[in-house]
Amino acid sequence: HRNSLPGSHVPLDKERGTLRLCFSELEEFDLVALQGASLREDLLRRDLRINALALDRQGRLFDPSGGLEDLRLGILRGLSEENFHQDPLRVLRCLRFAAQLKFRIDEETWHWACQASSGLRDVSGERIAVELEKFFATTEAPQLEYFRELAPARELFGASVVDDRLLFEAVAAGLLTGERSLELGLALWLGDRLDFTLSVDELVARLRVSNRVERFLVGWVRGLACLRETPVLTLRSIFVLSKHAGPAFEMLARAAQLEAFPVVLDTESRKNLLLEACREGRMNWAPLPWKGQDFMKLTGRKPGPWLGQLLDKVEVAWASGELTSLDSALEFL
């Protein structure tokens, strides 16, 4: 009975009888009803041999497929091709475990995974997003090679051509870390294909990502568009870029240092100027010292659309050092 179990309870799959027990942010356990007529049958339905291990109440190991040996060897081997086809999400799970554990994938198992990958188009977006986030958070170059060979963008989004060099370079540079691994990974992976061959709206609808992820991806697309229209980087143009990119600004600034970045910046010194414009995710520009009321008093005008447009222009000029006082702001206008 659920009421007799410790921790907080989160139902995961009522049909399969799956319940998650959460004891803390770092400690949780999933309870799953037995699948099949016996424990052996249940374990042999799993995705990988390393996930087909069980302990009895006395702590004795039950290992019907040789999963313990795979753990010792650092290899991922599937239990059967049919198991991958039954739940194609296991293809991404295989990639994720390879990334998390730094294991290699058995050749036959990888063949099964690739054969089953076409079924990813029928897997719910929420489940796919969870696996992609875990993969992006822990992957390194060897595991990215599997990702490149699998080419999941084709099955997930219908995107036949994706230039993933930026993702590889960012991983090598250690940029793909932290809590924002899903949005960073998607942006770096899809790069300038977002809004060219795949709109952010389509991506959001497919993966059902959070508003936070959506805002980041929208900022990434707007930031790239802004950079393309900026022939020379100055403090003024960088500030405008930060307004367009929003939460994606810091990542754009860091990714712009990479060779595979889709927008070519004019000089190395300009790249450094862009990088220096953000520290720990916070802009270095002082806030505008004047408010709308100040300009209304000075101009004698009533509130209206003009005021917002005026403040935007003044803010850009202030951030770029063109204005130092309210009088200079009036002269500027």
pLDDT computed for residue 100 by the predictor: 93
Tell me, yes or no, whether 250 lies in a domain: no
Distance CA 194, CA 183 (A): 12
Tell me, yes or no, whether 327 lies in a domain: yes
Q: What is Dmax (Cα atoms) for the chain?
A: 84
Tell me, yes or no, whether 323 lies in a domain: yes
Tell me, yes or no, whether 317 lies in a domain: yes
Tell me, yes or no, whether 301 lies in a domain: yes
Contact at 8 Å (CB) between 28 and 21? yes
Contact at 8 Å (CB) between 78 and 112? yes
Instruction: Provide the token pair at 297.
Output: 């008093």
Tell me, yes or no, whether 312 lies in a domain: yes
pLDDT computed for residue 53 by the predictor: 94
Q: What's the domain range around 300?
A: 292-332
Tell me, yes or no, whether 313 lies in a domain: yes
Distance CA 91, CA 186 (A): 18
pLDDT computed for residue 280 by the predictor: 43
Q: Could you give phi then psi for residue 211, rounded to 5 degrees? A: -60, -35
pLDDT computed for residue 283 by the predictor: 53
- How does pLDDT run across 185-200, given as a tens digit for each residue? 999 998 877 767 788 9
Tell me, yes or no, whether 302 lies in a domain: yes
Domain count, the chain: 1
The answer, as to whether pTM is greater than 0.95, is no
**Ranges under pLDDT 70 in the chain:** 1-7, 9-10, 12-17, 24-26, 159-161, 178, 195, 266, 269-270, 278-286, 319-321, 332-333
